[in-house]
Amino acid sequence: MSVVILFATLLLPGCGIHTALVGNMAGHMTNVELARKNFKVVDKISGTSTATYIMGVGGLSHKALIEKAKADMFARNDLTGSSKAVVNVTVEEHIAAFLIFYVRRTVTVSAHVIEFTD
Protein backbone atom coordinates (compact mmCIF):
# COMPACT_ATOMS: atom_id res chain seq x y z
CA MET A 1 0.00 0.00 0.00
CA SER A 2 2.77 2.46 0.88
CA VAL A 3 4.50 1.74 -2.45
CA VAL A 4 1.32 2.71 -4.31
CA ILE A 5 1.04 5.97 -2.34
CA LEU A 6 4.72 6.76 -2.93
CA PHE A 7 4.38 6.01 -6.66
CA ALA A 8 1.25 8.17 -6.94
CA THR A 9 2.95 11.00 -5.06
CA LEU A 10 5.91 10.97 -7.42
CA LEU A 11 3.85 10.56 -10.57
CA LEU A 12 0.96 12.95 -10.00
CA PRO A 13 2.41 16.33 -8.98
CA GLY A 14 1.39 19.32 -11.03
CA CYS A 15 2.19 22.99 -10.90
CA GLY A 16 0.96 26.31 -12.16
CA ILE A 17 2.74 29.51 -13.16
CA HIS A 18 1.05 32.89 -13.54
CA THR A 19 2.58 35.98 -15.21
CA ALA A 20 1.23 39.39 -16.24
CA LEU A 21 2.52 42.08 -18.59
CA VAL A 22 1.19 45.62 -18.95
CA GLY A 23 2.16 47.71 -21.93
CA ASN A 24 1.57 48.71 -25.53
CA MET A 25 1.00 45.37 -27.25
CA ALA A 26 0.04 46.85 -30.62
CA GLY A 27 3.58 47.38 -31.88
CA HIS A 28 2.82 51.03 -32.65
CA MET A 29 2.15 53.99 -30.42
CA THR A 30 -0.64 56.55 -30.57
CA ASN A 31 -0.30 59.39 -28.10
CA VAL A 32 -3.47 60.92 -26.72
CA GLU A 33 -3.48 63.85 -24.31
CA LEU A 34 -5.54 62.81 -21.29
CA ALA A 35 -4.79 65.89 -19.18
CA ARG A 36 -8.28 67.32 -19.60
CA LYS A 37 -11.45 65.68 -18.36
CA ASN A 38 -12.69 64.99 -21.88
CA PHE A 39 -13.10 61.23 -21.47
CA LYS A 40 -14.70 58.67 -19.21
CA VAL A 41 -13.96 55.00 -18.55
CA VAL A 42 -16.96 53.09 -19.88
CA ASP A 43 -16.01 49.41 -19.75
CA LYS A 44 -13.44 46.75 -18.98
CA ILE A 45 -13.10 44.15 -21.73
CA SER A 46 -11.20 40.87 -22.01
CA GLY A 47 -10.52 37.95 -24.31
CA THR A 48 -9.04 34.50 -23.71
CA SER A 49 -7.10 31.92 -25.69
CA THR A 50 -5.97 28.45 -24.57
CA ALA A 51 -3.51 25.94 -26.01
CA THR A 52 -2.76 22.40 -24.88
CA TYR A 53 0.57 20.64 -25.33
CA ILE A 54 1.05 16.89 -24.97
CA MET A 55 4.69 15.93 -24.43
CA GLY A 56 5.65 19.41 -25.73
CA VAL A 57 3.79 19.04 -29.03
CA GLY A 58 0.70 20.93 -30.13
CA GLY A 59 -0.97 24.23 -29.48
CA LEU A 60 -0.08 27.70 -30.65
CA SER A 61 3.03 29.79 -30.13
CA HIS A 62 3.07 32.41 -27.35
CA LYS A 63 2.68 35.27 -29.84
CA ALA A 64 -0.20 33.50 -31.61
CA LEU A 65 -1.97 32.93 -28.27
CA ILE A 66 -1.76 36.66 -27.48
CA GLU A 67 -3.06 37.61 -30.94
CA LYS A 68 -5.94 35.12 -30.65
CA ALA A 69 -6.86 36.47 -27.18
CA LYS A 70 -6.80 40.06 -28.50
CA ALA A 71 -8.96 39.05 -31.47
CA ASP A 72 -11.41 37.40 -29.05
CA MET A 73 -11.48 40.55 -26.92
CA PHE A 74 -12.33 42.78 -29.88
CA ALA A 75 -14.79 40.28 -31.41
CA ARG A 76 -16.84 40.18 -28.19
CA ASN A 77 -16.83 43.98 -27.81
CA ASP A 78 -17.67 46.07 -30.87
CA LEU A 79 -15.81 49.37 -30.63
CA THR A 80 -16.15 50.57 -34.22
CA GLY A 81 -18.03 53.71 -35.18
CA SER A 82 -17.55 55.55 -31.90
CA SER A 83 -15.02 57.78 -30.19
CA LYS A 84 -13.69 55.02 -27.94
CA ALA A 85 -10.14 53.87 -27.27
CA VAL A 86 -8.60 50.85 -25.55
CA VAL A 87 -6.10 51.68 -22.78
CA ASN A 88 -4.22 49.84 -20.03
CA VAL A 89 -3.85 46.62 -22.03
CA THR A 90 -2.76 43.76 -19.77
CA VAL A 91 -1.65 40.29 -20.90
CA GLU A 92 -1.92 37.57 -18.27
CA GLU A 93 -0.66 34.05 -18.79
CA HIS A 94 -1.34 30.97 -16.72
CA ILE A 95 0.52 27.72 -17.34
CA ALA A 96 -0.80 24.55 -15.72
CA ALA A 97 1.45 21.51 -16.01
CA PHE A 98 1.28 17.86 -15.14
CA LEU A 99 4.95 16.93 -15.24
CA ILE A 100 6.04 17.23 -18.88
CA PHE A 101 3.22 15.12 -20.24
CA TYR A 102 0.42 17.71 -20.25
CA VAL A 103 0.74 21.52 -20.31
CA ARG A 104 -2.18 23.94 -20.70
CA ARG A 105 -1.33 27.57 -21.44
CA THR A 106 -4.10 30.17 -21.08
CA VAL A 107 -3.61 33.80 -22.13
CA THR A 108 -6.08 36.50 -21.09
CA VAL A 109 -5.87 39.99 -22.56
CA SER A 110 -7.83 42.70 -20.75
CA ALA A 111 -8.14 46.46 -21.15
CA HIS A 112 -10.20 49.48 -20.18
CA VAL A 113 -12.33 51.26 -22.75
CA ILE A 114 -12.47 55.04 -22.59
CA GLU A 115 -14.90 57.23 -24.50
CA PHE A 116 -14.07 60.79 -25.46
CA THR A 117 -16.78 63.29 -24.58
CA ASP A 118 -15.71 66.22 -26.83
Q: Tens digit of pLDDT per residue, the chain (118 long)?
A: 677 766 666 566 667 776 777 665 555 566 666 677 888 999 999 999 999 999 888 888 889 999 999 999 999 988 888 888 888 899 999 999 887 788 999 999 999 999 888 7
pTM of the model: 0.74
Closest Cα partner for 98 from 17, 19, 18, 13?
13
Domain boundaries, the chain: 14-116
Q: Residue 100: helix, strand or coil by DSSP?
A: coil
CA 63 to CA 101: how far, in whole Å? Answer: 22
Question: What pLDDT was estimated at residue 26?
Answer: 53
Domain at 14-116: CATH code: 3.30.110
State which amino acid sits at residue 24.
Answer: N
Question: What pLDDT was estimated at residue 112?
Answer: 92
Buried b (16+ CB within 10 A) or exposed e, 82-95: eebbbeebebbbee
